[in-house]
Amino acid sequence: MLQGKVLVAQGGGPTAVINQSLAGVILEARKSRNVSSVYGALHGIKGIVGEDFIDLTQETSHNLELVGETPSSALGSTRDKPDLKYCQEILRALKAHDIRFFFYCGGNDSSDTLRIVAEEARKTDYPIRCMHVPKTIDNDLVLNDHTPGFPSAARFVVQAFMGANLDNWSLPGVYIGVVMGRHAGFLTAASALAKKFPDDGPHLVFVPEQTFRIDMFLAGVKRTVDRYGRCVVAVSEGVMDEAGVPVATKLAKQVERDAHGNVQLSGSGALAELLSNQVKEKLGTSRVRGDTFGYMQRSFVGCVSDVDQREAREVGERAVQYAMAGDADGSVVIERTGYYSADYRLVPLDAVAGKTRTMPPEFLSSDGADVTDAFRLYLRPLLGKSMPDAYRLRQSRVEKILNRPAHG
Which stretches of 221-287 are assigned E, i.e. beta strand?
231-236
Residues 365-404 that bind a second copy (CB under 8 A): 388-398, 400-402
59 binds a second copy (CB under 8 A): yes
Q: Cβ distance 330 to 118 under 8 Å?
A: no
Catalytic residue among 138, 200, 329, 370: 138
Residue 32 to residues 2, 41, 162, 399: CA-CA distances in angstroms?
A: 11, 20, 45, 75
Rounded least distance, CB 292 to a second copy, Å: 6
Distance of alpha carbon 188 from the chain centroid: 10
Tell which one of 30, 32, 34, 70 touches a second copy (CB under 8 A). Answer: 70
Active site residue 138: yes
71 binds a second copy (CB under 8 A): yes
Residues 134-153 that bind a second copy (CB under 8 A): none
Q: What are phi and psi of 238, to 5 degrees?
A: -100, 10
Decide whether 266 or 337 has the Cβ nearer to a second copy. 266
Residues 266-305 that bind a second copy (CB under 8 A): 266-270, 272-273, 276-277, 280, 288-296, 298-303
Rounded least distance, CB 173 to a second copy, Å: 10
408 binds a second copy (CB under 8 A): no
Tell which one of 2, 31, 79, 84 touches a second copy (CB under 8 A). Answer: 79
124 binds a second copy (CB under 8 A): no
Decide whether 79 or 367 has the Cβ nearer to a second copy. 79
Decide whether 40 or 134 has the Cβ nearer to a second copy. 40
- What is the crossing angle of helices 306-325 and 18-31, to 10°? 30
Q: How far apart, in whole angstroms, are the C-alpha atoms of residue 157 and residue 297?
A: 7
179 binds a second copy (CB under 8 A): no
Residues 84-103 that bind a second copy (CB under 8 A): 92-93, 96-97
Rounded least distance, CB 228 to a second copy, Å: 13
Decide whether 294 or 381 has the Cβ nearer to a second copy. 294
Tell which one of 40, 181, 202, 246 touches a second copy (CB under 8 A). Answer: 40
Q: How far apart, in whole angstroms, are the C-alpha atoms of residue 263 and residue 256?
A: 7
Rounded least distance, CB 169 to a second copy, Å: 7
Return all residues near 77 (Cβ < 8 A) that are at least 6 apart. 10, 11, 12, 13, 14, 43, 44
Residues 220-259 that bind a second copy (CB under 8 A): none
Q: Cβ distance 2 to 129 under 8 Å?
A: yes
- Where would I find the H helices in 136-261? 150-170, 186-189, 214-228, 247-258
Rounded least distance, CB 335 to a second copy, Å: 29
Decide whether 312 or 333 has the Cβ nearer to a second copy. 312
Taking every pair of Cα atoms in the chain, the longest distance, rounded to a whole number of angstroms, is 100
Q: How far apart, in whole angstroms, are the C-alpha atoms of residue 275 and residue 101?
A: 49
Tell which one of 4, 6, 9, 13 touches a second copy (CB under 8 A). Answer: 13
Q: Cβ distance 147 to 333 under 8 Å?
A: no
CB neighbours of residue 267 within 10 Å: 11
167 binds a second copy (CB under 8 A): yes
DSSP state of 16: S
Number of residues that bind a second copy (CB under 8 A): 85
- Where in the sequence numbering do the catalytic residues fall? 138
